[in-house]
Structure formats: C-alpha cells, structure tokens
Amino acid sequence: MPPPGQQGQHLATLPYEGRFWDVYLELEQREREPARGRLIFAAADLDNADPIRTGMIFVEDSTEEVTARARAMNPHQLLSLLRSCLP
C-alpha cells in the first residue's frame, strides 16, 4: 500500500535487517519542466511510521522515462539507497 497521501507506483519489496521494505516511485511533472522522481521506502510492519524519501534522483524528459529508469534499478542498488537514507 502506498504511504499515506502518496500516489506512488510500487517497484519492489526488499528484505533488510529483519524487516520488509516496500519501495515506491513518486513522480512529479510541472509544465515546461523535466519529469522528476524520488523513491519512497516504507517499512511493511510499521504502519504509523513516516516513510523514508530520497531526493528527486531521477530527472528525465517524461514520466515514462523516469519510471523506466526506476524500474531498471536492481535490488542491490535499491538496498544501497535504502541504507544511505537510514539513520
């Protein structure tokens, strides 16, 4: 399920340190600007916890291209990003 208030596309579910993390892509496109995207990591067992968000790490001409780039990431890359966002 997407984090509250988000319309994210589910990309993957990853195990990390005894917890499952759902990974979502959040898209943003403003008129006359490139499409942007960030990843959102939500711990599957922590319903009330705030999800972890990256910065806008994808910048492409269209939302389709952003989605393709995000979907091309492998689990190792996604886990590396998750680890870099955790305290």
Token representation of residue 31: 């008129």
- 20 residue type, one letter: F
Cβ atoms of 58 and 38 closer than 8 Å: yes
Query: Residue 1 domain-assigned?
Result: no
pTM, two decimals, is 0.87
Residues in contact with 81: Cβ distance below 8 Å, sequence separation at least 6, in sequence order = 39, 41, 54, 57
Query: Residue 4 domain-assigned?
Result: no
Domain span at 75: 9-85
- Judged against a pLDDT cut of 70, whether residue 86 lies above it is answered with yes
Query: Residue 23 domain-assigned?
Result: yes
Calculate what percentage of the chain has a pLDDT beyond 70: 92
Sign of torsion over alpha carbons 12, 3, 66, 59: negative
Count of domains in the chain?
Answer: 1
- 60 residue type, one letter: E
Q: What is the pLDDT of residue 5?
A: 47
Query: Residue 25 domain-assigned?
Result: yes
Which has the closest alpha carbon to 53: 80, 82, 13, 78? 82
- Judged against a pLDDT cut of 70, whether residue 4 lies above it is answered with no
27-63 pLDDT tens trace: 999 999 999 999 999 998 887 889 999 999 999 999 9
Query: Residue 21 domain-assigned?
Result: yes
